[in-house]
Amino acid sequence: MVSIPKHVQEFFPGKMAWVATATREGVPNVTPKGTVRVMDEQHVIFADLFSLKTRQNLEQNPRVAVTVIDAATHKGYQIKGTAELVTSGPLYDQMAAQLKASSPSLPSPKYVVKIAVDSVYDQSVGPDAGKQIA
């Protein structure tokens, strides 16, 4: 596990993320997630409300990539890691309460995905695009 650089942690809030998963056979799926957050310097989390394919893929293959981009500045980062599905307990309860407070009309999460970060990449436009930074 690696530590997410501080500037990447500070970049995440308020951004839409794209989560990529794959089946055991390698069939990809990418879906937007508005709930991606940095949990601590070694973990990223998101609540899943609707994505059947994401859950099926993570149950078969826990490897995941999360990309967050700011279209206005052309900056972005990608985090790769291993996912754990959390369906109850303090982490799940905290995320469900945060979602309910911010968007009361949304359903409760089906589960929360906790990602142990293996690597971090620069996805910004420019000469460092694709460079591993952690």
The pTM (predicted TM-score) of the whole model is: 0.93
The CATH class of 6-122 is mainly beta
Please tell me the distance from the alpha carbon of residue 28 to that of residue 91, in angstroms, as a whole number.
Answer: 27
Is the distance from CB of 48 to CB of 17 less than 8 angstroms? no
**pLDDT band of 1, cuts 50, 70, 90:** confident
- Residues composing the chain: 134
Lowest mean pLDDT among 20-24, 100-104, 122-126: 100-104
